[in-house]
Structure 1
């Protein structure tokens, strides 16, 4: 399986976490894909680093797109979503925010969360 880049096609499967380049880019991703899990993270955050391999696996093994927002680079975007701690995971389905969790969640809980919106 090859990693697709953002091509503008909802048929393209993105099987690796996708770095978000700003609010407009996040809006585009959320608008184009059915289920999007957004990881608001910081490079200095230990739990964020522990969550990284879990997110890589979920991006590869589920139908969800995993998007990553560095809160240090995108403080306004993090503020717009009420991010007060990292990691914060925001799940979108059908273009709408449906879940938000602060803290690193176990892989199976994240998988169940995603699959609840992709089936």
Structure 2
């Protein structure tokens, strides 16, 4: 039984969250995909951990790519996006940042945000 997996140009699966390794990597992911939901998180953050399974499901069930950015490992990148608390979620559509929210949002709200920017 074969399952179809979506991949980006770098060969990464887009049905799972993509872990970002710096500003250039985030720019590449945003440029290659129509809709990207970037999760600025920290391993020590309780709400971030609660959001993890929600984001994994959204990566699998929606057209959006979920990008995970560890703020401790990517402090400059987090600062460039004005991240002052975690989790912070930034939504990119067609290469541009269109939304940013601080705090864990419910799954249905995140799905609505994503679907508002994905092509019908």
Coarse TM-score class (shorter-chain normalised): over 0.9
Q: CA RMSD in A?
A: 1.7
Native 8 Å contact 1:17 1:65 kept in 2: yes
1: CA distance, partners of 2:94 / 2:106: 24
Structure 2 residue aligned with 1:45: 45
Q: Structure 2: where are the runs of 5+ without partners? A: none
1:16 is displaced (CA, Å) by 0.5
1:109 paired with 2:109, answer yes
- What is the number of equivalent residue pairs in this alignment? 117
CA distance in 2, matches of 1:33, 1:6: 8
Q: Using the TM superposition, give the Cα deviation of residue 7 of structure 1 relative to its aligned residue in structure 2, in angstroms.
A: 3.1
Gaps of 5+ in 1: none
Contact 1:8–1:32, Cα closer than 8 Å, also in 2 = no
Query: Does 2:27 match 1:31?
Result: no
Residues 14-57 of structure 1 show CA distances to partners (whole Å, capped at 9, x for unaligned) of 10000000000000000110000000000000000000000000
In structure 1, distance between residues paired with 2:8 and 2:73: 20
TM superposition shift of 1:4: 5.2
Matching residue of 2:70: 70
So what's the TM-score if we normalise by structure 2? 0.92
8 Å contact kept, 2:20–2:69: yes
Q: Which residue of 2 aligns with 1:83?
A: 83
Shift of 1:3: 5.0
Provide TM-score, normalisation by structure 1: 0.92
